[in-house]
Amino acid sequence: MEYSERLENTAVLGAAGKMGSGIVSLVSQEMADLSLKPENRSKTFVLHAVDISHQALSGLVKYLREQVRKSAEKKIVSLRSAYADREDLVDNGEIIDAYVSRVLDIVRPTTLVAAAAEAHVIFEAAPESLDLKLKLFAGCAGVGSKAWVFTNTSSIPIHEIDEKAFLGGKIMGFHFYNPPAVQKLVELIRGKATLPEVAKFAETLAKSLRKTVVPSNDVAGFIGNGHFMRDMLHGISEAERLAKDMPFTGAVYSVNKVSQDFLVRPMGIFQLVDYVGLDVCQCILDVMDPRLPGKGLKSALIDRLLGQGVKGGQNHDGSQKDGFLKYEGNKIAGVWDPEGKRYVPLSEFQAECDKKLGPLPEPALPWKAAVKHPSKDKALADFFGKLDGMNTLAADLAKRYGSRSKEIGLGLVSDGVAASASDVNKVLLTGFFHAYGPVNEYFKEKVVR
């Protein structure tokens, strides 16, 4: 069964979620593009979009209608060629409408997992729980099924899913980054028994979706979360250390600020944790910790905050929910105090913290300016060179942070998770929009504890 034939019947499990809806959008458009080729005109392409509630699925359809339209507007030049023989479709507007209808005709929303049983390709984007995933596969894949499974897990080893769901090697890790429609990065993970033809299909699909592929070995957390979780735990331990000399809220604020402004990252570490969701981070740690014992991959603080109902994550409109930090629009307005069980407004401690932290190196190098900088490497070297010569609290925190991040990156290579330091850097540059990779010359390689 060749590429296009296999894509004639697909399914996405968890289709209405944050990741699932993006995957539905990308895959259904790939299917629509194939269906427009002359040799495929007589074929019917179907994508079963499976999720638990009709309400969520209505939201998916609405999202698709908007997403596919935007994407069609962008690719109007190629769409006009694809529709060249449709005499009735003349204006761009008519062609775009026709394309949106075609994609929506392919997508069949359903709450029944069984619908996915006829699919040749199943994308799984359910929450990060092995039990849940196994339950889903029991209803549509495994023994007797022709389906190849591509799981969007960001942490669970592929070989474990393979063995426990009896998939016989018809599975591969296909880890999109959030949001899938925008993020270029895909981590591809082969399990021990993954069939070569499954891996080949995954590579072809990733290429066709114009994704940047980084292969990761089949170790819990892979490269992306392998770095992020440890980076997050470093941030938490730094905040806890600082909290001995200042209020906890000020410590969280300070570490968040240093990890953004002084490390030239797109957002601070606690804002990133909020963006991903504390619950998601906890799930990932719960997967990683037992599989990588003795590495301390757990956080009592995250467990505590979740116990207090502090979750983070995003609302349906993409706006940020409160987590470690409180948000007003996209701006940070306060920090959660687990003792007082309330958000303390920034105005109560920001000025004092900023004073303790000390100034940025001059000239400052905001992340946005760094990524657009025509000579980015030199600008970063200058900035971090100046930082190195500073003895402020912020400079100390930043240097410890940069060194730890580098240590994590090198650890991923020495532990055999990543094939090379450049793969680690590519994941952070592409998937996390960092301005520079963790394995760099800006920070010394030393163990920070």
Partner 1 sequence: MITLRRKVYMTAGFNTVSMGSGRKEFHPKKPRPGLEDYIKEAGKGTLSKIGGARNVDEGVIGNFMAARFNNQGNLAALIPSIDEGLKWKPCTRVEGACCSGGLALASGIKSILAETAEVVLALGVEVQNTVKAVYGADILSTAGWRKDRKAGHAHYFPGKFSDRAGAYYAKHGRDKTRSAMARWYRNAIENARLCPTAQEHQNNQKDLDAMGMTEPNPRSFVEHLSVYDCSKVSDGASAIAIMSEEGLKRAGIAKSDAVEVVGFGQVEADLTVPPEDPTRLETTARAVEAALRSAGIRASDLGTVETHDCFTIAGVLATEAIGLAKPGEGPDFVLAGETSRAGKVPFNTTGGLVGWGHPTGATGVHQAVTLWEQLTGKAGSAQIKLSPERPYGLSINMGGDDKTVVAIVYRKAA
Which residues of the chain form contacts with partner 1 (CB under 8 A)?
A: 73-74, 76-80, 87, 90-93, 96
Cα distance between residue 79 and residue 326, in whole Å: 44
When the beta carbons of 97 and 240 are compared against partner 1, the nearer one is 97
Which is closer to partner 1, CB of 72 or CB of 427? 72
CB of 319 to partner 1, least distance (A): 16
Gap between the terminal Cα atoms of the chain = 53
* CB nearer partner 1, residue 72 or residue 428: 72
Q: What CA–CA distance (Å, rounded) separates 335 from 310?
A: 11
CA–CA separation, 261 vs 358, rounded Å? 12
Q: Which is nearer to partner 1, 72 or 353 (CB)?
A: 72
> Is 84 or 351 the residue whose CB approaches partner 1 more closely?
84
Using CA atoms, how far apart are residues 358 and 395, in angstroms rounded to an integer? 8
Beta carbon nearer to partner 1, 83 or 174: 83
Q: Which is nearer to partner 1, 88 or 339 (CB)?
A: 88
Residue ranges of E strands in 295-393: 325-328, 331-337, 342-345
Question: Is residue 424 within 8 Å of 413, Cβ to Cβ?
Answer: yes
Nearest approach in angstroms of CB 25 to partner 1 is 19
The residue type of 60 is L
Please give the C-alpha separations between residue 402 and each of 43, 209, 399, in angstroms, as whole numbers.
53, 33, 5
Nearest to 60 by CA among 43, 76, 48, 74: 48
- Which of 96, 258 has the CB closer to partner 1? 96
Sign of CA pseudo-dihedral 325, 327, 332, 337? negative
Token code pair at residue 307: 């116990």
Q: ∠ at Cα 187 (110, 75), nearest 5°?
A: 65
Length of the chain counted residue by residue? 449
What residues does 122 pair with on adjacent strands?
A: 11, 149
Least distance from partner 1 to the Cβ atom of residue 82, Å: 12
Token digits of residue 16: 């209405």
